[in-house]
C-alpha cells in the first residue's frame, strides 16, 4: 500500500458533509474511516483533524450531534446533517467542481493550432 496523504486544506468539511449525506448519522471515528475508504485509502484522517472540523461544522449549524451507542457497544457522539448542512454541502460541492474544471484548463491546456 502506498503512502497516505494528508487531507488538503479546505476539503475536510466537504468530505464530512458528503459522507453524512451519503451514509446518514455516524460517529467521528466512523466518519474518518469512511473518508479514508472513499479515498481508496489514499488519505489519512486523524483525531486531531476530524474532531475540530466536526466541532466547527456543529458551531456553524451544518451538523448536529447526539449521544448514542456505537456498534461495539460504546458511548459515542453521532453527527447528522441539518437542512443548512445539506445546502452547504451542495454549495461547496458546486464550488469545488468549478475550481476543478478551471484547474483542468491549466493541467490539460488545449493545443493552439
Residue-level pLDDT at 110: 77
Residue-level pLDDT at 8: 72
- Whether residue 2 is predicted with pLDDT greater than 70 in this model: the reply is no
Domain layout of the chain by residue ranges: 5-107
User: 5-12: long-range contacts (C-beta < 8 A, 24 or more apart)?
Assistant: 5/42, 5/43, 5/44, 6/43, 6/44, 7/35, 7/43, 7/44, 7/45, 7/49, 11/96, 12/45, 12/49, 12/50, 12/53
pTM given for the model = 0.86
Determine what percent of the chain is predicted with pLDDT higher than 70. Answer: 92
* pLDDT tens profile 27-73: 999 999 999 999 999 999 988 899 999 999 999 999 999 999 988 89
Backbone phi, psi, residue 100, to 5°: -65, -40
Q: Which residue has the cell 452547504?
A: 88
The CATH classification number of 5-107 equals 1.10.10.10
How remote is the C-alpha of 53 from its chain's centroid?
9
Going by the DSSP 8-state scheme, the letter that residue 9 receives in this structure is: T
Amino acid at each position: 500500500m502506498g503512502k497516505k496523504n494528508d487531507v488538503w486544506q479546505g476539503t475536510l468539511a466537504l468530505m464530512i458533509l458528503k459522507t453524512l449525506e451519503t451514509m446518514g448519522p455516524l460517529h467521528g471515528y466512523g466518519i474518518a474511516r469512511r473518508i479514508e475508504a472513499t479515498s481508496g485509502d489514499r488519505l489519512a484522517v486523524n483525531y486531531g483533524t476530524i474532531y475540530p472540523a466536526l466541532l466547527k461544522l456543529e458551531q456553524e449549524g451544518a451538523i448536529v450531534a447526539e449521544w448514542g451507542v456505537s456498534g461495539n457497544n460504546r458511548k459515542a457522539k453521532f453527527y447528522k446533517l441539518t437542512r443548512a448542512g445539506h445546502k452547504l454541502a451542495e454549495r461547496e460541492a458546486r464550488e469545488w467542481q468549478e475550481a476543478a474544471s478551471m484547474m483542468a484548463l491549466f493541467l490539460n491546456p488545449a493545443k493552439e493550432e
